[in-house]
Amino acid sequence: MPAAPVDVRAQVFSNLGPVISGQLSDDPIAPGVGLLRTQGEVVISGLIQPAKGSELLLGVRLPGGKLTRFPRRLRVIKADSDPIENETTLTVGCLLALKWDLVQPEIYYATDYPAWTPVDTAAGSTPNICLLSSVVAVALDRCGITQATGNPEITFAKAVASIDLSGGYLEIASRIIAEAGLYGFIDASEKLRLRRVLVPATKGPFLTINELLTIEAIGNPSPPEEITISYGQSIWPTVETSPNYKPKTPGEESYTWNAGTG
């Protein structure tokens, strides 16, 4: 989405002081990116130092006197004051932007979430499948982000016993959501709203076999003598592919973390 400039001629005001200028934008929809952040800068008159995470409320007085609220909930990420100009530049963003860099050493184990593990665990068998809707729910919970009601479901899974979340909770969640053909953003109620990237096509006109005169390959290519299919590695980090982790053994209450120095 293109940048949305804050126009002072529209009488923009905020809860942190008079607005001088600003510019905010949403991340564009791109391959592999499922979470779209709203972020930018707003210049406030005066010298202020709001705490990180403080809410910035923006209002606009429209022509005719009608008041409306900016359609995104914004949080302060950083504040830079200029005593010479007597103004403060606020770097702001939605909850996704605020929490994006939250990283903790954690592994998601399917055995820790039996209600989310649709496998038969009889006879001591170990679950080896991770429902990705559960992985997203855990990642969002660690960041204090709530999903909106009515979101499309993520219905697929990965045939692995664990997923390493240490690369960043929202990085992992973003990739899962994109792989599900969805994108998400923080709405005006400060909840994560998911939407489908592609709207299912409706029924329309089509050709039947009786209406076709001929079917030919374009350019009449010769059939290949050999077809090679290569398989890429999974993008989801597991215990086995993460050198700083040891596999979890039965009876452990938490994962084992190595500093990787020895």
Ordered by start, the domain boundaries in the chain are 4-98, 107-200
Is residue 141's pLDDT more than 60? yes
Is residue 123's pLDDT more than 60? no
Is residue 196's pLDDT more than 50? yes
Count of residues making up the chain = 262
CATH of domain 107-200: 3.55.50
pLDDT tens digits, 4-26? 555 445 688 899 999 998 999 99
Q: What is the DSSP letter of 108?
A: E
How many other CB atoms are there within 10 angstroms of residue 101's CB atom? 11
Confidence of residue 257 (pLDDT cuts 50, 70, 90): very low
Q: Which two tokens stand for residue 43?
A: 């210049």
User: Are 44 and 18 in contact, with CB atoms under 8 Å apart?
Assistant: yes
What pLDDT is attached to residue 186?
95
What pLDDT is attached to residue 160?
84
pTM of the model: 0.69
CA 135 to chain centre: 12
Q: How far is CA 97 from CA 17, 102, 106, 113, in A?
A: 22, 10, 21, 28
What pLDDT is attached to residue 63?
74
Question: If you average pLDDT over residues 63-73, what whole number do you get?
Answer: 82
Distance CA 43, CA 20 (A): 5
Is residue 100's pLDDT more than 90? yes
* Cβ neighbourhood burial of 56 (10 Å; 0-12, 13-18, 19+): buried
Question: If you average pLDDT over residues 210-218, what whole number do you get?
Answer: 59
Averaged pLDDT score across all residues of the chain: 78
Least Cα distance to 170 among 134, 145, 152 occurs for 145
Distance CA 13, CA 57 (A): 8
User: Are 12 and 59 in contact, with CB atoms under 8 Å apart?
Assistant: yes
Q: Provide CB contacts within 8 A for 162, sequence distance 6+.
A: 107, 108, 109, 110, 130, 238, 239, 248
Q: Report residue 108: phi and psi, to 5°.
A: -85, 115
User: Are 140 and 192 in contact, with CB atoms under 8 Å apart?
Assistant: yes
What pLDDT is attached to residue 67?
83
What pLDDT is attached to residue 50?
95
What pLDDT is attached to residue 115?
61
Is residue 254's pLDDT more than 50? no
Element (H, E) at 141: helix 132-142
User: Are 71 and 121 in contact, with CB atoms under 8 Å apart?
Assistant: no
Confidence of residue 174 (pLDDT cuts 50, 70, 90): very high
Lowest mean pLDDT among 125-134, 152-161, 162-171, 186-195: 125-134
Distance CA 108, CA 165 (A): 7
What pLDDT is attached to residue 223?
62
What pLDDT is attached to residue 73?
87
User: Are 173 and 136 in contact, with CB atoms under 8 Å apart?
Assistant: yes
Lowest mean pLDDT among 82-91, 120-129, 139-148, 231-240: 231-240
Q: Which two tokens stand for residue 80?
A: 């830079």
What pLDDT is attached to residue 68?
85
Q: What is the DSSP letter of 212?
A: -
Question: If you average pLDDT over residues 148-166, what whole number do you get?
Answer: 89
> Could you tell me if residue 219 is left (phi over 0), alpha (psi between -120 and 50 degrees) or otherwise beta?
left
What pLDDT is attached to residue 138?
94
